[in-house]
Amino acid sequence: MMTNDPLLHPLLDGDRRALSRAITLVESTRPDHRDRAMALLAALPDRQALRIGLSGTPGVGKSSFIEAFGMMLTGQGLRVAVLAVDPSSTRSGGSILGDKTRMERLSRDPRAFIRPSPSSAVLGGVARRTREAIRLCEAAGHDVVLVETVGVGQSEVLVAGMTDLFVLLLAPAGGDELQGVKRGIMEVADLILVNKADGELLAPARRTVADYAGALRLLRKRPQDPDGFPKALPVSALTGDGLTRAWDEMRALADWRRETGHQDRARAAQAQDWFTAELRAALLARLQTPEAKAQVAALGARVAAGALPPALAAQQVLDWLDGT
């Protein structure tokens, strides 16, 4: 598809303002914006970044980790984008990344691009926007796209479904307690990083690493894992210890998956899933126009009054949709 969108060339040249505006465009639900966004996305070349999903509950030091890890990557000459998926931020009206001062150095780094979570969106909408934002960040020449999510369960599975590898960040735990990490999250994690492995917490962090390494060994080995993965490692966002090792492991895993064809297969399956999710959402969106809502409300009142059987009322809405 061709487009003469004025954002396209600045975006491909890596212009941060153009990228920012393009993401705002894909976040919009206005029909003309959607059309423009789809044309722009269709015109993007196939540039691929390493897509890393990152999850961690508040208190594990996620912002500090992203800042330290991101600075290490930009220090190696790599360009890094950070996107946030935070469905819970819709409640507070804020965003975990809205406060950029929590990543003060990284946000000023010319090789980094940080995008807060949209302030009002449902989980499904966040998923669409994030998938499209990842594509835009790749087209803008980023080498690594970090998709951050807060540990609230459902969002991890969504983010794992749009990234190449998934990292779970944890804090050192007391004793052998496994911090109530949900089994579903353990199952999507490729790498568990225990943060704050410094000072007084170094020994507890190492114990926590050993506990999780043990728990991971009990999980069934997945075909997309080379020997030794999933893995648990200690890191310190404060001292920087372990960050290089963590990055080496991520690259080793990503390289193996690329070479064995797992990454291509995973991305193809993710794109298919995204397509069917889009399709269902777009079809159901036909019930969300003001006219359709009025129609549903009117027939719903007759259904509630017992004057019309539900299945027949549903058929009448479909007939009405076909007639409009």
- Strand stretches in the chain, DSSP E: 50-56, 80-85, 112-115, 144-150, 165-170, 191-194, 231-234
> For its own copies, which is the closer residue by CB, 152 or 281?
281
* Least Cβ distance, residue 185 to its own copies (angstroms): 21
Choices 17-25, 100-108, 232-240, 299-307 (CB under 8 A): range interacting with its own copies: 299-307
Contacting its own copies within 80-119 (CB under 8 A): none
Residue of 271, 288, 289, 294 that binds its own copies (CB under 8 A): 271
Considering only residues 27, 86, 132, 148, which one is a binding residue for its own copies as defined by CB under 8 A?
132
Asked if 253 and 227 count as a contact pair (C-beta separation under 8 A), the reply is no
Question: For residues 197 and 235, what is the distance between their CA atoms, to the nearest angstrom?
Answer: 5
Q: Six-digit token pair at 284?
A: 């159901």
Backbone angles phi, psi at 122, to 5 degrees: -85, 165
Q: Is the alpha carbon torsion for 115, 100, 53, 261 positive or negative?
A: positive
Is residue 298 near its own copies by the rule CB under 8 A?
Answer: no
Nearer to its own copies by C-beta: 34 or 258?
34
**3-state SS, residue 40:** helix
Query: Which range touches its own copies (CB under 8 A), out of 129-137, 152-160, 166-174, 212-220?
Result: 129-137
Site for its own copies contains 305 (CB under 8 A)? yes
d(CA 198, CA 202): 5
- Max distance between CA atoms of the chain, in angstroms, equals 72
**203 vs 318 by CB, closer to its own copies:** 318
Residue from 221, 172, 208, 165 nearest 188 by CA: 165
Number of Cβ within a 10 Å radius of residue 106: 23
Query: Contact region for its own copies (CB under 8 A) — 90-98, 128-136, 152-160, 184-192?
Result: 128-136
By beta-carbon proximity to its own copies, the closer residue of 199 and 309 is 309
Given 76, 154, 244, 272, the residue binding its own copies (CB under 8 A)? 272
The answer to whether the beta carbons of residues 73 and 146 sit under 8 Å apart is: no
Among 11, 22, 25, 37, indicate the residue that binds its own copies (CB under 8 A). Answer: 37
The number of residues in the chain equals 324
- Interface with its own copies, residue 122, by CB under 8 A: no
Residue 38 lies near its own copies (rule: CB under 8 A):
yes
Integer-rounded Cα Rg, in Å, for the chain is 22
Instruction: Mark 231-270 with x for binding to its own copies (rule: CB under 8 A) and - for no binding.
Output: ------------------------------------xxx-
Shortest Cβ distance from residue 83 to its own copies (Å)? 17
Please state, in angstroms and rounded to a whole number, the distance separating the CA atoms of residues 106 and 115.
12
User: Binding residues for its own copies, per CB under 8 A?
Assistant: 1, 34, 37-38, 41-42, 44, 46, 128, 131-132, 135, 267-269, 271-272, 274-276, 278-284, 286-287, 296, 299-300, 303-306, 308-315, 317-318, 321
